Structure 1
């Protein structure tokens, strides 16, 4: 009898494949279940089914079974003339199984059915070569897996399963594939570097796995991946030459890129960047910013808010600043071998105004007062602002006070009076029914009653908008003028001798009808504000606009003069765009029925703030009680007690990204954070309001 072992996931499948491989029917074989299938526990310890098919030697099958295990001598059950469905029923009801130590599905040499010392009837793979030992009882067979093809005596075999013998020459063809190298070279970073992007070429080869001697052998292969670049360093260097790259080539990086499995991008050439110089700069020799003592002291309780801020001052002849010349940079070289010029270091342009003068590289104070330095890019303006001290009250006897510099009022500001300052304002006593406006900070040591106080506005907003509109229209007019003078039609026309001024007036009438009204309104606003405008250029621009657009009789100007006026507009727009210093603050003791506006912080240091409107771009702090009124705090707020006991409506509002801290909140108080609102229906303590990540209002 010949035997054949078949292994599959189920007994049914093992029998079917065995019969198919032997090309026999069920009644031509005897079946023994060596091992029923087992699912194991939670997928662990699962076993395939193993069956043994026995058949007479004279009935030679055409092909062996591809899956082979050892033959067990125990539990042999022969069921002759049993139909397949009957046999499967028998298997399903059988509880016969082998112990794990009696079956080795990987190695066949432990079979007691055969002589342990003999390799007869077995085949195996060693060093990618098939070895076979013939036997009278058993014909070895092999099963070819994917990627493996066999030749028998030099002829290709299409079958995946075949019997083998010592007399036959069985060789194997293993699949071999290639992936071509993908690569590109490009110049980047403004010709200062060359980048090689490479996806490596690889060779996929297979080699046979060694197997132990067995009656039936599965011929499996393993894949081996080798680097197989289809580009060479010579080709990459030729590409560099085609791109005119000749400087800073890294040959070792090219070698590295060609010998890496990962691929990626590599910098294979690099130029030398130019070393930029240093622009001219201003070295300040005196303090120009207001000193805030609260920022120097961690213990805010110890700060005397009446003495919180100190204004810097200089004396005549004192050095305010030193001007340093620019330092030139060093040239570089790009990957094409060409010089790369460094960025041109810019000179510092300094304009000294009232109270300052320039001596060689030094800016000197020519008056006593507060130093003022304003810088935008490489343009610097310096001046010394005078300081005005008014020893009495501001009333009908003194008149309104308008001053370009800082103002200090020793007394009170009476009803109906007005103070305007281009700098800081300090008032030692009470403000009643007055209007106070300063471009810098305001400090009021007394109370503010029924008054309008604003701090930090740099230039009138309407004035800025008008100037921007006039500048844009004048710029367009200048471009038109250049096109007119360059055109052949104009040069050959009867108008070729027309003056620039005449063309400006013509364009003003035909193309820019609203421009004259805007200029007139702008000039009026500047003249109204001139007492507190720090920069004299505003008044100079007014004279230029009158001279160009309204001068009677006309005075011819050049195109260069018109361009210079436009440049002056641009300079003033840039200067007015400089927002108020972060140090701008409005600080007062108490407030009643007043309006307080500030581009920075607002601080009420006393006991009460009653029925007052507060609008601050910065932080609002009320150390006492806030009753009635409306507060908007752009940077959040901290209020000790808020709300009206007699029903006075109090609203506290901040942007959506800010927070509200309230020590005590009375019933009826309204708080708003962004679009979210909350009305307190009862008094609460210790409220910390903000929006969470989902945009919901949280109070604690």
Structure 2
């Protein structure tokens, strides 16, 4: 037949074409897929027959060979396209895209073979205590052509046969180890096993020795912390005024605390051979306040009383709190009370009087038109009327005092640095002038306002007596001793001033620490008053009227809250808010605050930083919370009709 003759001619042409450097010269018959019309007649499928009926050309793959049938009449030719893993040649042209084909075309589909080399990597940890080896074995991928049914558009498909190459280059791994300067802790046994039994691997190939653990200094405190002489508040918010919580008490000679010394750990060694120094243990400092002595890291009570400690950073200040029991009322006959300890008043605090304590204040009677300030908590068993209560806070005067101390610290630091620079001058060195004299001249010429600043600080300590647990009297003594005129004959004057700077810094930290005290206010009721606590406010009696309540923590009012305002960052739990006459009452919710009201009247204003909500109709079981971002989320509320 004519077609058979054509095929034979093509075969001869391919055999004679020795100068053309194409796959025709170097591929065996196993990689060829040529058109064979005789074989095509034997493989005619139903799909092929359907395509012939339509009249378009088609192509298909059978037993790894490509077959093409021309279209009938003016219909479309078959189109074939290459795929990954198969090199498709048509009439000697390597195809990169689809192309129409016909029966007379010479088509070769040559399966590819890819060889992927092995991959090695060594990763050293940031602390240089370990190194990880990563091995990915090489592989050979052999592709083969997949049979497909007849179709007008035929895109080749290839099957990939992957085979791992079980061979690891030991020299390449050692080269990577050396390039990363790894000389210690190499796991040669792991490497030898990988060479013997090649496999994909990711694991530790070198390991150093970490520093041995040391121990930080720490303080063992032998008394109960935060023990307060105040009523017990139950989970329901009710307060038991008869049974007070126990107060810690010690006798003279009691060991209040001990400091355990730390120690440094053993050195380690990195995989690169360096010695790794262990971390320096954290140190703590013990300081003795009033009524306390410290010997050989042992804190001993020098008198009976309530033990207390203030922790400021890594410094622990221990002291014995005195307690002042004032019999009767605080009035004009007794005068105002100021005490460096706790105060218990058996009567009331009357009009125009003030009470200040560095510890808790406990008042059995009522407070009327008075000012009550405590560094810690305040408890009033009866009502508070037209008065100001502040628990845990500090006055503006103390804040101003702290600013003056901070300013003095900064100036003295600068003066010391300036003095040291001048002492490096050759002329001053040769003159033999003393450091104290240089410092004195610097204060007089460059920092001549230091004496006025020191006088302000000393005056505040003297006049206000700064009733607190911190030993400001000792600071006053050192200020008078070393300044404003340094001792020019003292060789260690610069060291003494630097020690004074540390004392000033600690005093400033202490004052700032006062603002963070966990202090509560617990009272029976309030009228036309200001109530502010660093932690919680609990009003357990009939309620709070036309008053302003502020708490960093929770606010709980068992009775009525009517008129005035509440500000809280915690849980606000109220029984009844407002009145049927629409008395304006505000509740300001800080970040993360929640609100729960058993019964709320109209004209209650609820505020956050970003939103204001007004309760316009009476409701019961109203609740809300502040979401992330300061958004107010109204959770529930049931409108009720007032009779």
- Could you tell me which residue of structure 2 aligns to residue 545 of structure 1? 479
Q: How does 1:518-597 map to 2 (within 5 A)?
A: 518-536=453-471, 538-551=472-485, 558-578=493-513, 583-597=518-532
Pair 1:635 & 2:555 matched: no
Say whether the 8 Å CA contact 1:179–1:202 is kept in structure 2: yes
Q: How does 1:451-466 map to 2 (within 5 A)?
A: 451-457=387-393, 460-466=398-404
Assess, with a 3 A threshold, how the Cα gap between structure 1 residues 78 and 574 changes in structure 2: closer, same or farther: closer
Deviations 1:479-527 (A, max 9, x none): 33333323xxx22359954544454455456655765554444333333
1: CA distance, partners of 2:590 / 2:135? 51
Deviations 1:325-374 (A, max 9, x none): 32553332221344433223355432333322345564332211110123
| Superposed CA RMSD | 4.8
Match of 1:698 among 630, 634, 640: 634
- Could you tell me which residue of structure 2 aligns to residue 659 of structure 1? 594
2: CA distance, partners of 1:73 / 1:586? 92
Give the CA deviation at 1:424: 0.9
Q: Secondary structure at the match of 1:575?
A: helix
Match of 1:402 among 332, 338, 341: 338
- Could you tell me which residue of structure 2 aligns to residue 367 of structure 1? 303
- Could you tell me which residue of structure 2 aligns to residue 469 of structure 1? 407
Deviations 1:577-609 (A, max 9, x none): 435676421111111122222111111111021
Give the CA deviation at 1:442: 0.8
Pair 1:175 & 2:112 matched: yes
Give the CA deviation at 1:565: 1.2
Pair 1:617 & 2:591 matched: no
Give the CA deviation at 1:689: 2.1
2: CA distance, partners of 1:634 / 1:494? 60
Which consecutive unaligned segments of at least 5 residues does structure 1 have?
5-60, 80-86, 92-104, 108-122, 133-142
Q: Secondary structure at the match of 1:651?
A: strand
Pair 1:601 & 2:541 matched: no
Assess, with a 3 A threshold, how the Cα gap between structure 1 residues 479 and 435 changes in structure 2: closer, same or farther: same
2: CA distance, partners of 1:67 / 1:609? 102
Q: Secondary structure at the match of 1:310?
A: coil
1: CA distance, partners of 2:50 / 2:223? 109
Pair 1:278 & 2:215 matched: yes
Which consecutive unaligned segments of at least 5 residues does structure 2 have?
5-33, 68-79, 637-643
Say whether the 8 Å CA contact 1:430–1:447 is kept in structure 2: yes
Assess, with a 3 A threshold, how the Cα gap between structure 1 residues 64 and 220 changes in structure 2: closer, same or farther: farther
- Of residues 347-356 and 278-287 in structure 1, the stretch that sits farther from structure 2 once superposed is 347-356
1: CA distance, partners of 2:581 / 2:627? 33
Pair 1:481 & 2:419 matched: yes
2: CA distance, partners of 1:197 / 1:77? 54
Give the CA deviation at 1:613: 1.8
Q: How does 1:491-530 map to 2 (within 5 A)?
A: 491-492=426-427, 497-508=432-443, 518-530=453-465
Pair 1:314 & 2:250 matched: yes
2: CA distance, partners of 1:455 / 1:173? 90
Pair 1:351 & 2:287 matched: yes
Match of 2:584 among 638, 641, 649: 649
- Of residues 647-656 and 501-510 in structure 1, the stretch that sits farther from structure 2 once superposed is 501-510
Say whether the 8 Å CA contact 2:409–2:505 is kept in structure 1: yes
Give the CA deviation at 1:456: 0.8
How many corresponding residue pairs? 582
TM-score by length of 2: 0.76
- Could you tell me which residue of structure 1 aligns to residue 368 of structure 2? 432
Assess, with a 3 A threshold, how the Cα gap between structure 1 residues 615 and 517 changes in structure 2: closer, same or farther: farther
- Of residues 225-234 and 413-422 in structure 1, the stretch that sits farther from structure 2 once superposed is 225-234
Say whether the 8 Å CA contact 2:252–2:303 is kept in structure 1: yes
2: CA distance, partners of 1:605 / 1:294? 11
Q: Secondary structure at the match of 2:173?
A: helix
Deviations 1:355-394 (A, max 9, x none): 2234556433221111012334543222211111112211
1: CA distance, partners of 2:355 / 2:413? 37
Deviations 1:306-334 (A, max 9, x none): 54543321122333223333255333222
Give the CA deviation at 1:395: 1.6
Please identify the structure whose Cα radius of gyration is greater.
1
Assess, with a 3 A threshold, how the Cα gap between structure 1 residues 244 and 495 changes in structure 2: closer, same or farther: same
Assess, with a 3 A threshold, how the Cα gap between structure 1 residues 297 and 551 changes in structure 2: closer, same or farther: same
- Could you tell me which residue of structure 1 aligns to residue 226 of structure 2? 289
Q: How does 1:245-256 map to 2 (within 5 A)?
A: 245-251=182-188
2: CA distance, partners of 1:78 / 1:449? 106
Say whether the 8 Å CA contact 1:150–1:156 is kept in structure 2: no
Assess, with a 3 A threshold, how the Cα gap between structure 1 residues 195 and 526 changes in structure 2: closer, same or farther: farther
- Of residues 505-514 and 581-590 in structure 1, the stretch that sits farther from structure 2 once superposed is 505-514
Q: Secondary structure at the match of 1:481?
A: helix
